[in-house]
Amino acid sequence: MIENHSRAQSTMPAAAPVRILIESSEYWLANHGDLAMLDVTLARLRQRWPHAQIGVLTDVPHLLRAYYPVAQGITGSDTDPWAEPSTVDDLVAGLGPQLVGPVALGWIRMRLWLPQKTRGARRRLTRLTRRHLSSDPITEPSASDSAAAAARAVRPAIAAAVDGASLVLTLGGGYLTDSDYTQAHRVLNLLEYACDRGIPVALVGQGLGPLDDPVLQRRAAEVLPRVGFLALRERLRGPAILQRAGVPHSRVMVTGDDAIELAYAECAGTLGSDIGVCLRAADYAPVSAAARETVRRVVRTVAAEHGSTLVPLIIAEYRSQDRRSTLPIVRGSTAWVAPLSRYTSRERIVEQVSRCRVVVTGAYHLAVFALARGIPVIALSSTRYYDDKFRGLEDMFGGGLRLLQLDDPALDGTLTAAMHQAWRQSDESREGLRKAARHQIQLGHEAFEHVYALVEPARVEHRRGR
């Protein structure tokens, strides 16, 4: 059960401005799943506090402003993180992401190219040294790597942003995990800094784990019990991780993914007839050449059998990872549509998802979009990390998702059968999925009431003490 908090009236005169600092973990704004959660969060915060100052940690503040004129980007190099937007900021907000995006990302790539190359060479040298000294290949970060990440101090500009905030809000994602230990430590250090200074902290829409790294486990146990509220997007793994870390059950709630609200809308009565596809291939989600060829062949064959158009649905644009692995599947097929542009809106992606009767995906948030629309999903995974993400999502929706392993020798047959079965059952499963989506949206709004309550009692006390 969640602790009851007294709720102050949102119309009460404020003695101090509300400032929310958002940690979304997606500093290049190149993942439409993370952006969907940010879309929903900003809308909820603005509805509650129309005049709040909302800062978002990012490496591309102008692109952030182009996507979200109501927010401001805060970087690690800002001298005055809460300064009012400049004339340039306002101009950028009017240009839109299609114009601003290529310039902003081109600049940051150029600025970071040499440091990235240097760090990459250092990591490769370290791996070669370890392999020379050990007969076993090193596939996981060492304890010393994790400890070094844990010891990094919060950057002064970010610390100043926290010092001026009324609330630090950490958005959902799968970054509190062993496979992203650098980011996990960065977030935990940020939260600890805020807690040390009495700044309210909340985490929402979180997908936790796997979390087996002993250094990360220790840091989680030191930091997470101190936060004011924590909402999870699934109930299979996260609650046990928080229990192990010593987080009081009274501060935890399972809500589902906040991006569901963006994807959910009243649907037309007819089902779509297309097949959506996204193959995620990355260091943290490896896909063999054989598996890629199998997915390509099966998806195209099934689409042709049903007279269906293939729709490439791109979620992760970082280094074009989803485009590079997805477009070869659809190009040259009997019928396919061109992908949306890199800087499209999440609403446009959802519109294309709505055309589909079945979605085949290795991208977690595409599965979220599809299930919220009542569309069955065949999920493709090659790691425990993605197994956990997809199984947690299936559990929250009570079905509608079939998880397949990309290294399955029988992938050809299992994927073919799964796509045909999903096609046949799409009509009967639709309303159940939509009902589950509605329930999770409601839980998400209930969770944000607890987030709001972390700030408003403090504002009441501030007003009384004047």
pLDDT of residue 6: 38
Q: How far is CA 75 from the centre of its chain?
A: 19
203 or 90, which is more confident: 203
Mean pLDDT of 287-303: 98
pLDDT of residue 387: 98
pLDDT of residue 228: 98
Residue 464 pLDDT > 50: no
Mean pLDDT lowest for which of 148-152, 196-200, 283-287, 319-323? 148-152
Residue 238 pLDDT > 90: yes
Q: Which among 91, 85, 86 is positioned nearest to 71, based on CA atoms?
A: 85
| Measured distance CA(337)–CA(327) in Å, rounded | 10
Q: What contacts 24+ positions apart, CB below 8 Å, involve 348-352?
A: 349/32, 349/313, 349/314, 349/315, 350/262, 350/263, 350/265, 352/276, 352/311, 352/313
pLDDT averaged over the chain? 90
CB within 8 Å of 368: residues ≥ 6 apart: 33, 36, 257, 259, 260, 263, 393
Q: Which domains does the chain have, with CATH numbers?
A: 19-261+441-464 (3.40.50), 265-435 (3.40.50.2000)
Mean pLDDT lowest for which of 20-29, 31-40, 264-273? 264-273
Mean pLDDT lowest for which of 2-11, 151-160, 288-297, 315-324? 2-11
Q: How confident is the model at residue 393 (pLDDT cuts 50, 70, 90)?
A: very high
Residue 260 pLDDT > 90: yes
Residue 155 pLDDT > 90: yes
Mean pLDDT lowest for which of 92-106, 131-145, 295-309? 131-145
Q: pLDDT digits over 90-102, tens only?
A: 898 899 999 999 9
pLDDT of residue 127: 52
Q: pLDDT digits over 26-66, tens only?
A: 999 999 999 999 999 999 999 999 999 999 999 999 999 99
Helices (H) and strands (E) in the chain, counts: 16, 12
Burial status of residue 134 (CB atoms within 10 A of its CB: 0-12, 13-18, 19 or more): exposed
> Residue 210: is the preceding peptide bond cis (ω within 30°)?
yes
CB 52 within 8 A of CB 44: no
pLDDT of residue 259: 98
% of the chain with per-residue pLDDT over 70? 88
Which two structure tokens, joined as six digits, stand for 390? 């997809």
Mean pLDDT of 240-262: 98
What's the N-to-C CA distance of the chain in angstroms? 35
Residue 173 pLDDT > 50: yes
Collapse the DSSP code of 381 into the 3-class scheme (helix H, G, I; strand E, B; otherwise coil) and give the result.
Answer: strand
* 360: number of Cβ within 10 Å: 31
